[in-house]
Amino acid sequence: MLLGDRAKYVMLVGGLTFATMLMTQQSAVFFGILKWTTSHLSNMRAKLWIVDRNVQQANELKALRDTDVNRVRSVTGVAWAMPIYVTIQSAKLADGNFKPIMLVGLDNTTLVGRPPVMLQGRLEDVRLPNSIILDDLGVQRLSVGRAKPLGLGDTFELNDKEARIVGICRADRHFFGYPYAYSTYTQALQFAPKQRKMLSLVLAEPAPGWTPERAAKQIEIETGMKAYTEDELFWSTIWWYFRNTGIPVAFISIIVLGFIVGTTISGQTFYAFVHENLRHLGALKAMGASNALLARMLLVQSLTVGFIGYGIGVLLVTAFGHAVLGRGEPPFMLPWQLPAATFAIVMGICCFSALLGIRKVWKVEPAVVFRG
């Protein structure tokens, strides 16, 4: 019946599409921002992450003692463990300004924690003196003021020391927008000013036959340090930002806004539809349609438009996601839970709208059909 009322139908589907897009899109951007907070994980990649006992998230590392690597290595259930030094250092631009970069020092021999994708140059060359591998964002940032962009073999000043670019890599962007640069552990110590403790974290691999969870537990028992599996650190980091920043408030207000927009448009349209058709609904009642039958009819119609509106909305959001995913800006992350939750909300809105109509239909007396 509703399907025949073109204007209302378009209005309903449009409203629900808009609500779906608003909720899914915005949430995906928030998730994307949150995902930036876990860039260390995707840029260093390891099954086990061992950090100071008080560390709750990947971007707030507390220095460990150099000897802690060996303590982790001696734990049963650990196949290998490698030191990582993570530090933020200033790179000098051609125009005299400074830009911060995230410098990652890798174990000299194994290069565990290496960049995920090499775009130019050879990873092994990072072992040469004063060498550095820079990500493409870094190339872009540090090329400011130069006649042509930085390339392989070019040098720049990193904390007053000369750094030579031997490779260009791709890396996920950091929450604070720092480019990533990789060098060997010993080289990183050279670039950075001397500190008492220079070990940021230990990356490790569980021994054969050990699950990451079990190995992590064992490391904690034997060393007293905090050992995360990749997954645990990912979610621990995300939740930390969720708890400690304004992101959730913005996030929830968007959901609420989407809900209000969706409910207002669809509830209102649906109610108007029922109101305008009261005569016909009354006639159906007179002809013997029970309340239950009419309720089912309204519900089916409402859920049908909900389905269509949701489908179009999610399709558009996914298309949008594909368009921006390649560029990474704005950030975008669409885990399956997100469309699933939106689906539940949209269906909830539709049930609610249908209910408004059903309540009205129930009150209609079949005798109204004889009134002029």
Partner 1 sequence: MPVSATSASPLAVHVRAVTKTFGTGEAAVPALKGVDFNARQGELLMIVGPSGCGKTTLLSVIAGTLNFDGGEIDVFGSPLHQMKPRAITEFRKRNVGFIFQQFNLIPTLSCIENVSVPLLINGASRREAEQKAETLLKQLGLPGRGRERPTNLSGGQQQRVAIARALVHEPRLVICDEPTSALDKDTGGHIMELLRDVARHPDRSVIVVTHDNRIFKYADRLTEMEDGRVQRVHGQGGNHDLSE
CB of 368 to partner 1, least distance (A): 9
Nearer to partner 1, 144 or 292 (CB): 292
Q: Which of residues 126-165 bind partner 1 (CB under 8 A)?
A: none
- Whether the upstream peptide bond of residue 208 has omega within 30° of 0, thus cis, is no
Using DSSP's 3-state secondary structure scheme, residue 101 falls into strand
Nearer to partner 1, 268 or 277 (CB): 277
Q: Which of 129, 147, 208, 370 binds partner 1 (CB under 8 A)?
A: 370
Nearer to partner 1, 188 or 284 (CB): 284
Query: DSSP string of 141-169?
Result: HHTTT-SS---TT-EEEETTEEEEEEEEE
CB of 262 to partner 1, least distance (A): 24
Nearer to partner 1, 276 or 329 (CB): 276
Q: Does 365 bind partner 1 (CB under 8 A)?
A: yes
**What's the half-sphere exposure (Cβ side, CA atoms, 13 Å) at 268?**
9
Q: Which residues, at least 6 apart from 76, have a Cβ–Cβ distance to it below 8 Å?
A: 207, 218, 222
CB of 270 to partner 1, least distance (A): 15
Picking from 45, 106, 50, the residue whose alpha carbon sits closest to that of residue 78 is 50
Q: Does 7 bind partner 1 (CB under 8 A)?
A: no
Read off the DSSP letter of residue 264. Answer: H
Residues 310 and 346 sit within 8 Å (Cβ to Cβ): yes
Q: Does 371 bind partner 1 (CB under 8 A)?
A: yes
Read off the DSSP letter of residue 274. Answer: H
Nearest-angstrom CA–CA distance, 246 and 261: 23
CB of 302 to partner 1, least distance (A): 16
Q: Does 10 bind partner 1 (CB under 8 A)?
A: no
Through-space distance between the first and last CA atoms of the chain, rounded to whole angstroms: 23
Using DSSP's 3-state secondary structure scheme, residue 208 falls into coil
Q: Does 209 bind partner 1 (CB under 8 A)?
A: no
Q: Does 1 bind partner 1 (CB under 8 A)?
A: yes
CB of 369 to partner 1, least distance (A): 6
Read off the DSSP letter of residue 112. Answer: T
Nearer to partner 1, 122 or 279 (CB): 279
Nearer to partner 1, 3 or 88 (CB): 3
Nearest-angstrom CA–CA distance, 47 and 183: 21
Q: Does 249 bind partner 1 (CB under 8 A)?
A: no
Nearer to partner 1, 261 or 308 (CB): 308
Q: Is 217 exposed, middle or buried (0-12, 13-18, 19+ CB in 10 A)?
A: middle
Piece in contact with partner 1 (CB under 8 A), picked from 43-51, 109-117, 330-338, 360-368: 360-368
Piece in contact with partner 1 (CB under 8 A), picked from 35-43, 75-83, 140-148, 359-367: 359-367
Picking from 303, 283, 294, the residue whose alpha carbon sits closest to that of residue 357 is 294
Distances (CA, A) of 234 to 65, 238, 253, 328: 24, 6, 24, 19
Q: Does 361 bind partner 1 (CB under 8 A)?
A: no
Q: Does 367 bind partner 1 (CB under 8 A)?
A: yes
Piece in contact with partner 1 (CB under 8 A), picked from 30-38, 181-189, 218-226, 361-369: 361-369
Q: Which of residues 269-308 bind partner 1 (CB under 8 A)?
A: 277, 279-280, 283-290, 293
By the criterion CB under 8 A, which residues form the site for partner 1?
Answer: 1-5, 277, 279-280, 283-290, 293, 365-367, 369-372
